[in-house]
């Protein structure tokens, strides 16, 4: 596997502001992040319904491994290794040669495989755009619903003055 | 040390079968499923992930089931499994400032931008047993929703509020941002240990041990009086930059609890007094651990702050060498394993020493009529 130079040389120094990437990469980052958060069942169902005629092969069989999660002391300072998380990765090739990749949290090989397949389809012709859009909307709605429940627990503490009034 | 023993296979097999039977318990009671553990014993799950140092909820639930609820056994299982997996990458440093918070409180400022968000907490419960959970498992009512969601970018108390006035020290960043980061899972730990190694050690350290040490700092075995500047619990996304892609991708969310303490100030003839910081960050929802970690992190910065070492929590080597419960349990519990040969050796030695002393006593009695044992060798 060849290492391509980063389109924008990015380092940890861009700590709180990510370097803007080109729009194609930004779009791909978006759909990969949506796919990484979608269950295997959902991906599998969508694939068999709309893309089952695709011919494809594994470029890299789904593989389970780990990512060491890094953090910063105090949130902004020196980097440290917090602990690992399980991750599954996969790469597929469509019949026209388009290669799709996935890295998803957890150990679901099938989820990783479908995430890579949808990545490839999106790269080739964007033919899963509607699906990705639906998923993104659902994920945003779920996040908002949770954030509203959390907001209902916002309090105001009163400090009581003791003694003289 | 203990030596290998042979035989006993049948007894060992039968012991494991008995263990499995006891784990299952009364067969008239439904078997617990790992997804029930994952959902309904989620704080056990997060502890096992944090101290197992592997974020995987399903595996932690399985480990808890297999370990019959013994969390240290479950942590041991996670650590063992971890060694079978390749490491694909290091993540980019996660951004806790961008956490989607489920809880965020400050004990230092009552009114703060973003507000005090209690979230799912045991605080302010009455700690009375709720018998409805036992009797009919009454379904909880749906939690109410606010009109508006909580702020997406909750300001940070220490950085955005206290540091705005320069009242708290900055977090030092090494000059070379790409300098290697210590990793205790790959290299032997050397002392004195840097803060990166200390934080890694504490985050996977035993909750009880770190709690006790944190408590000791409050009781005077370190002089670093702490306030909780901020606690936040929620999810952050993890990003990696795979070399075959050449750009960063988001691989999913993990739950974290972060605690930042504001500690006693420090100043000198040339520097204005400033508060100092302690930092705690753990997988999952575990405030007790995050607060304790921040207290111990601050105590372990004694040298850096030019403070006198007066308590165990300030002694980094002592803390780090005893914080790991898998190591501790391994060494403590190994003394129950067969030490027959060792012990036979000791028995022989004691018998021989006794015989020698008795022989000498008898001899000197016969010679002088007195008994004067020599000092033991």
User: pLDDT tens digits for A41-83?
Assistant: 999 999 999 999 999 999 999 999 999 999 999 999 999 999 9
Instruction: Kindly determine whether residue A72 and residue B200, on different chains, have CB atoms separated by under 8 Å.
Output: no
Give the residue on A whose Cα is nearest the Cα of B276: A74
Residue A107 per-residue DSSP state: S
Query: Distance between CA B258 and CA B199 in Å, rounded?
Result: 12
State the average pLDDT over residues B106-114. Answer: 86
pLDDT score at B247: 96
Query: Distance between CA B293 and CA B310 in Å, rounded?
Result: 18
Which 3 state secondary structure label does DSSP give B126?
A: coil
Give the residue on A whose Cα is nearest the Cα of B261: A74
Give the residue on B whose Cα is nearest the Cα of A102: B251
pLDDT digits (tens, 9 = 90+) for B178-214: 889 999 999 999 999 999 999 999 999 999 999 999 9
Domain that includes residue A88, residue range: 23-139
Q: What backbone phi and psi angles, to 5 degrees, belong to A94? A: -80, 170
Greatest mean pLDDT among A15-24, A106-115, B184-193, B326-335 lies in: A106-115
Q: Are B8 and B15 in contact (CB under 8 A)?
A: no
Q: Would residue A84 count as lying in a domain?
A: yes
Cβ contacts of residue B324 below 8 Å, gap of 6+? Answer: B201, B204, B205, B206
Two tokens, residue B337: 């394993």
Picking from A146, A139, A105, the residue whose alpha carbon sits closest to that of residue B283 is: A105
Q: Which residues of A fall within a CB distance of 8 Å from B145? A: 145, 148-149, 151-152
Q: What backbone phi and psi angles, to 5 degrees, belong to B376? A: -60, 145
* Least confident residue range of A116-125, A132-141, B126-135, B260-269: B260-269
Count how many Cα atoms sit within 13 Å of the Cα of residue B244 in the half-sphere of its side chain. 13
- Residues constituting chain B: 377
Angle formed by the axes of helices B71-82 and B325-333, nearest 10°: 110
Two tokens, residue B84: 């079978």
Instruction: Kindly determine whether residue B244 and residue A91, on different chains, have CB atoms separated by under 8 Å.
Output: yes
Q: Is the predicted pLDDT of residue B356 greater than 70, yes or no?
A: yes
Two tokens, residue A90: 């996969």
Q: Are A161 and A94 in contact (CB under 8 A)?
A: no
First to last CA, chain A: 75
Closest CB to B53: pick one of A83, A89, A143: A83
Q: What is this model's ipTM?
A: 0.90
The pLDDT confidence band at residue A7, using thresholds 50, 70 and 90, is: very low
State the average pLDDT over residues B129-153. Answer: 84
| Minimal C-alpha gap between A101 and chain B (Å) | 8
| Minimal C-alpha gap between A93 and chain B (Å) | 14
Give the residue on B whose Cα is nearest the Cα of A85: B55
B268 exposed, middle or buried (CB, 10 Å; 0-12, 13-18, 19+)? exposed
State the average pLDDT over residues B262-268. Answer: 78
| Minimal C-alpha gap between A1 and chain B (Å) | 7
Residue with tokens 């190694």: B197
Q: Would residue A63 count as lying in a domain?
A: yes
First to last CA, chain B: 24
C-alpha distances out from residue A112 to A109, A117, B154, B335, Å: 5, 9, 32, 45
Instruction: Kindly determine whether residue A72 and residue B93, on different chains, have CB atoms separated by under 8 Å.
Output: yes
Q: Does B98 touch chain A (CB under 8 A)?
A: no
Instruction: Kindly determine whether residue B101 and residue A150, on different chains, have CB atoms separated by under 8 Å.
Output: yes
Closest CB to B117: pick one of A1, A101, A154: A154
Closest CB to B93: pick one of A37, A71, A147: A71
pLDDT digits (tens, 9 = 90+) for A99-155: 999 999 999 999 999 999 999 999 999 999 999 999 999 999 999 999 999 999 998
Give the residue on B whose Cα is nearest the Cα of A70: B93
Instruction: Kindly determine whether residue B244 and residue A2, on different chains, have CB atoms separated by under 8 Å.
Output: yes
Q: Would residue A67 count as lying in a domain?
A: yes
**Beta-strand pair B87-90/A56-72:** parallel
The pLDDT confidence band at residue B117, using thresholds 50, 70 and 90, is: very high
Q: Average pLDDT of chain B?
A: 91
Q: Is the predicted pLDDT of residue B374 greater than 70, yes or no?
A: no
Q: Would residue A16 count as lying in a domain?
A: no
Domain count along chain A:
1
Query: Residue A131: which H helix or E strand, with range?
Result: helix A129-151
Percent pLDDT > 70 in chain B is 95
Query: Residue B326: which H helix or E strand, with range?
Result: helix B325-333
**3-state SS of B291-324?**
HHHHHHHHHCCHHHHCCCCCCHHHCHHHHHHHCC
pLDDT score at A163: 59
* Least confident residue range of A15-19, A41-45, A157-161: A15-19
Q: Is the predicted pLDDT of residue A4 greater than 90, yes or no?
A: no
**Region at A72 (left for phi over 0; alpha for psi -120 to 50; beta for the rest):** beta
Cβ contacts of residue B274 below 8 Å, gap of 6+? Answer: B166, B167, B168, B169, B265, B266, B267
Q: Which residues of B fall within a CB distance of 8 Å from A38? A: none
Q: Which residues of A fall within a CB distance of 8 Å from B54? A: 66, 83-86
Q: Are B251 and B240 in contact (CB under 8 A)?
A: yes
Q: Would residue A114 count as lying in a domain?
A: yes
State the average pLDDT over residues B13-22. Answer: 96
| Minimal C-alpha gap between B17 and chain A (Å) | 29
Q: Does B209 touch chain A (CB under 8 A)?
A: no
Q: Would residue A48 count as lying in a domain?
A: yes
Radius of gyration for chain B, computed over Cα atoms and rounded to the nearest angstrom: 27
Q: Would residue A54 count as lying in a domain?
A: yes
Q: Is the predicted pLDDT of residue B109 greater than 90, yes or no?
A: no
Give the residue on A whose Cα is nearest the Cα of B85: A65
C-alpha distances out from residue B75 to B72, B80, B175, B257, B323, Å: 5, 9, 36, 19, 14
pLDDT digits (tens, 9 = 90+) for B34-77: 999 999 999 999 999 999 999 999 999 999 999 999 999 999 99
Instruction: Kindly determine whether residue A1 and residue B244, on different chains, have CB atoms separated by under 8 Å.
Output: yes
Q: How many CB atoms are located within 10 Å of the residue B87 CB?
A: 15
C-alpha distances out from residue B59 to B63, B83, B85, Å: 6, 14, 13
| Site from A67, A107, A120 to mutate, B interface, most B CB atoms within 10 angstroms | A67
C-alpha distances out from residue B276 to B188, B192, B265, B305, Å: 30, 21, 6, 9
Residue B159 per-residue DSSP state: I
pLDDT score at B33: 97
pLDDT score at B163: 81
Q: Would residue A159 count as lying in a domain?
A: no
- Residues constituting chain A: 165
Give the residue on B whose Cα is nearest the Cα of A39: B252
Q: Is the predicted pLDDT of residue B137 greater than 60, yes or no?
A: yes
Q: Is the predicted pLDDT of residue A17 greater than 60, yes or no?
A: no
pLDDT score at A16: 39
pLDDT score at B339: 84
Q: Is the predicted pLDDT of residue B2 greater than 70, yes or no?
A: no
Closest CB to A75: pick one of B100, B159, B172: B159
* Least confident residue range of A18-22, B159-163, B233-237, B308-312: A18-22
Q: Which residues of A fall within a CB distance of 8 Å from B180? A: none
């Amino acid at each position: 596997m060849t290492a391509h130079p980063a389109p924008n040389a990015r380092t940890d120094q861009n700590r709180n502001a990510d370097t803007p990437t080109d729009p194609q990469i930004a779009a791909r980052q978006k759909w990969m992040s949506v796919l990484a958060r979608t269950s295997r069942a959902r991906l599998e169902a969508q694939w068999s319904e709309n893309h089952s005629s695709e011919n494809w092969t594994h470029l890299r069989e789904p593989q389970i491994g780990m990512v060491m999660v890094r953090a910063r002391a105090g949130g902004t300072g020196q980097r440290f290794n917090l602990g690992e998380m399980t991750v599954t990765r996969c790469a597929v090739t469509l019949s026209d040669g388009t290669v799709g990749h996935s890295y998803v949290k957890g150990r679901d090989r099938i989820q990783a495989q479908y995430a890579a397949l949808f990545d490839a389809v999106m790269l080739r012709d964007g033919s899963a755009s509607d699906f990705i859009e639906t998923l993104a909307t659902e994920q945003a709605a779920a996040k908002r619903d949770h954030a509203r429940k959390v907001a209902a627990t916002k309090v105001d503490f009163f400090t009581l003055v003791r003694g003289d009034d | 040390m203990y030596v290998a023993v042979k035989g006993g296979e049948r007894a060992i097999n039968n012991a494991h079968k008995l263990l499995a039977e006891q784990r299952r318990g009364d067969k008239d009671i439904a078997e617990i499923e790992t997804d029930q553990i994952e959902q309904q014993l989620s704080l056990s799950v997060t502890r096992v992930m944090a101290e197992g140092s592997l974020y995987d909820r399903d595996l932690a639930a399985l480990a808890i089931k297999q370990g019959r609820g013994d969390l240290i056994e479950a942590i041991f299982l996670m650590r063992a499994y971890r060694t079978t997996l390749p490491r694909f990458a290091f993540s980019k440093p996660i951004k806790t400032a961008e956490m989607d918070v489920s809880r965020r409180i400050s004990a230092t400022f009552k009114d703060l931008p973003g507000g005090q968000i209690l979230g799912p907490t045991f605080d302010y419960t009455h700690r009375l047993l709720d018998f409805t959970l036992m009797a009919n498992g009454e379904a909880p009512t749906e939690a109410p929703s606010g009109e508006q969601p909580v702020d997406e970018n909750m300001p940070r108390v220490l950085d955005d509020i206290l540091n705005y006035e320069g009242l708290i020290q900055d977090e030092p960043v090494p000059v070379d941002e790409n300098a290697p980061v210590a990793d205790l899972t790959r290299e032997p730990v050397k002392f004195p240990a840097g803060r990166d190694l200390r934080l890694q050690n504490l985050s996977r350290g035993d909750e009880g041990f770190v709690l006790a040490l944190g408590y000791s700092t409050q009781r005077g075995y370190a002089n670093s009086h702490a306030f909780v500047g901020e606690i936040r619990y929620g999810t952050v996304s993890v990003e990696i930059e795979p070399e075959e892609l050449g750009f960063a991708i988001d691989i999913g969310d993990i739950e974290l609890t972060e605690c930042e303490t504001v500690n006693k100030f420090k100043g000198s003839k040339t520097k204005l007094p400033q508060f100092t910081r302690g930092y705690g960050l753990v997988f999952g929802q575990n405030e007790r651990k995050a607060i304790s970690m921040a207290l111990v992190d601050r105590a372990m910065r004694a040298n850096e702050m030019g403070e006198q070492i007066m308590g165990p929590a300030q002694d980094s080597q002592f803390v780090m060498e005893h914080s790991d419960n898998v190591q501790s349990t391994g060494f403590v519990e190994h003394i129950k394993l067969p030490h027959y040969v060792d012990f036979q050796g000791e028995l022989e030695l004691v018998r021989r020493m006794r015989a020698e002393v008795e022989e000498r006593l008898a001899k000197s009695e016969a010679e002088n009529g007195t008994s004067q044992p020599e000092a033991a060798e």
